[in-house]
Structure 1
Amino acid sequence: MAAQHEITQRDLRSRSKEIMDAVQGGQSFTVTRDGHQIGELIPLRRRRRFVPRGEFAAMSRTAPGISLDAFRTDQSATAEQETDDPYAR
């Protein structure tokens, strides 16, 4: 993890674009007011959208087994079963 830099509230106000660009680039800051730490600016962790095939296969090998019958029973018990189709004419 990158070192966290300390900035004052005044720095944040006057250099907000520069600081936000740094946060977007992965840098973290501790914000101070009157010499006291009051908060942190940290980049959001980005979620991966793609998992490589080999990684998915490795995770799948250690996943617990699933009973298809138990899954369907649970699904039927929790899903609302509507017989009327509001879009049927």
Structure 2
Amino acid sequence: MSVQPEITQRDLRSRSKEIMDAVEGGSAFTVTRDGHQIGELIPLRRRRRFVSRAQFAAVSRNAAPVDIEAFRVDQEAAVDQDHGDPYER
């Protein structure tokens, strides 16, 4: 477990832009007041919306192989083949 650098409340107040830029960049800090730890500044986890083709390919290399015929059999078994005409009464 890595130890977060400590910053005082006064440092946070006087160097807020620098510290917040560091947090935005992934750094975390423990805030102290009168020598006592009172809180943590940590970056928010951001969900990635897009994955590049190269990243997808890299992750997919370790995926289990898919048996296409078995997949189709499973799909057909799960789908109601006799759904009928939805507009027919």
Partner of 1:15: 15
| Contact persistence 1:28–1:41 (CA under 8 A) | yes
TM-superposed deviation, 1:50: 2.0
Percent pairwise identity: 73
Q: Alignment length, in residue pairs?
A: 66
Point out where structure 2 has 5 or more consecutive residues left out of the alignment.
67-73, 81-89
Q: Which amino acid aligns with 1:31?
A: V
TM-superposed deviation, 1:68: 5.4
Structure 1's 68 and 18: CA in aligned 2 closer, same or farther, altered over 3 A?
Answer: farther
Tell me the secondary structure at the aligned position of residue 48 of structure 2.
Answer: coil
Answer yes or no: is 1:29 the counterpart of 2:29: yes
| Contact persistence 1:6–1:30 (CA under 8 A) | yes
TM-superposed deviation, 1:48: 1.2
Q: Which amino acid aligns with 1:9?
A: Q
Q: If the length of structure 1 is used for normalisation, what is the TM-score?
A: 0.57
Point out where structure 1 has 5 or more consecutive residues left out of the alignment.
70-89
- State which drifts further: 35-44 or 47-56: 47-56
Larger Rg: 2
| Contact persistence 1:2–1:28 (CA under 8 A) | no
Tell me the secondary structure at the aligned position of residue 40 of structure 1.
Answer: strand
Q: If the length of structure 2 is used for normalisation, what is the TM-score?
A: 0.57
What does 1:19-58 align with in structure 2 at a 5 Å threshold? 19-51=19-51, 53-54=56-57, 55=59, 58=63
C-alpha separation in 2, matches of 1:23 and 1:2:
16
Partner of 2:70: none
